[in-house]
Amino acid sequence: MLVYTSRRLLHSNRSQILRAFSTHSNTKPYDAVVIGAGPGGLTAASNLMDQGFSNICMFDPHFTAGRIHEKYREVPSNTKTHMFEKWATGTKTFSQIIEAAPKPNAYTTMLSFDQDEGCMLGDAVDVAQLLSDGIRKVPGVDSVTARVRKLRRERDVWDLPEHGITSRKVVLTPGSHPKRFDLVDKYPHVKELDLDITLKPSALRETVPAGSKVGVIGASHSAVLALKNLYELGNVSIVNFHRSPLLYAEYKDGWILYDNTGLKGVAADWAREILASENPNPRLRRINLKTDGRTDKEIYDRELEDYTHLVSAIGYEMNALPTIEVDGQEVLADFDPLTGRFKEKESQRPLPGLYGAGIAYPERVTDRAGNVESAVGWFKFMRFCKRVAPEWAAEAP
Ligand X SMILES: Cc1cc2nc3c(=O)[nH]c(=O)nc-3n(C[C@H](O)[C@H](O)[C@H](O)COP(=O)(O)OP(=O)(O)OC[C@H]3O[C@@H](n4cnc5c(N)ncnc54)[C@H](O)[C@@H]3O)c2cc1C
Taking residues 306 to 345 in sequence order and writing x for each that binds ligand X by CB under 6 A, - otherwise, the string is: -------------x--x-----------------------
Which segment (29-37, 97-105, 241-249, 348-356) binds ligand X by CB under 6 A? Answer: 29-37
How far apart CA 120 and CA 380 sit, in angstroms, is 18
The answer to whether 393 and 367 have CB atoms below 8 angstroms apart is: no
Q: Is 148 in the site for ligand X (CB under 6 A)?
A: yes
Instruction: State which of residues 29, 38, 134, 262 lies at the interface with ligand X (CB under 6 A).
Output: 38
Nearer to ligand X among residue 57 and residue 236 (C-beta): 57
Closest CA to 359 of 173, 126, 83, 219: 173
Q: Is 47 in the site for ligand X (CB under 6 A)?
A: no
Instruction: State which of residues 19, 25, 41, 326 lies at the interface with ligand X (CB under 6 A).
Output: 41
**To the nearest whole angstrom, how small is the minimum distance from the Cβ of residue 142 to ligand X?**
14
How far apart CA 86 and CA 28 sit, in angstroms, is 35
Question: Residue 22: how many CB atoms within 10 A of its CB?
Answer: 14
The answer to whether 324 and 35 have CB atoms below 8 angstroms apart is: no
Taking residues 209 to 248 in sequence order and writing x for each that binds ligand X by CB under 6 A, - otherwise, the string is: -------------x--------------------------
Q: Is 135 in the site for ligand X (CB under 6 A)?
A: no
Q: Is 355 in the site for ligand X (CB under 6 A)?
A: no
Which segment (34-42, 49-57, 182-190, 284-292) binds ligand X by CB under 6 A? Answer: 34-42
Q: Is 29 in the site for ligand X (CB under 6 A)?
A: no
Residue 81 CA: distances (Å) to CA of 7, 134, 147, 193: 33, 21, 31, 30
Q: Is 157 in the site for ligand X (CB under 6 A)?
A: no
Q: Is 356 in the site for ligand X (CB under 6 A)?
A: no
Instruction: State which of residues 29, 90, 134, 175 lies at the interface with ligand X (CB under 6 A).
Output: 175
Contacts of 52 (CB under 8 A, 6+ apart): 393
Which segment (47-55, 56-64, 286-294, 295-303) binds ligand X by CB under 6 A? Answer: 56-64
Which segment (171-179, 183-191, 206-214, 248-256) binds ligand X by CB under 6 A? Answer: 171-179
**Distance from CA of residue 264 to its chain's centroid?**
18
Ranges within 57-116 binding ligand X (CB under 6 A): 59-62, 66-68, 72, 75, 77-79
Instruction: State which of residues 34, 98, 377, 392 lies at the interface with ligand X (CB under 6 A).
Output: 377
Closest CA to 287 of 226, 236, 215: 215
Amino acid at 68: I
Q: Is 170 in the site for ligand X (CB under 6 A)?
A: no
Q: How many CA atoms lie within 13 A of 77 on its CB side?
A: 25
The binding site for ligand X (CB under 6 A) comprises: 35-41, 59-62, 66-68, 72, 75, 77-79, 121, 147-148, 173-175, 199, 222, 319, 322, 358-360, 376-378
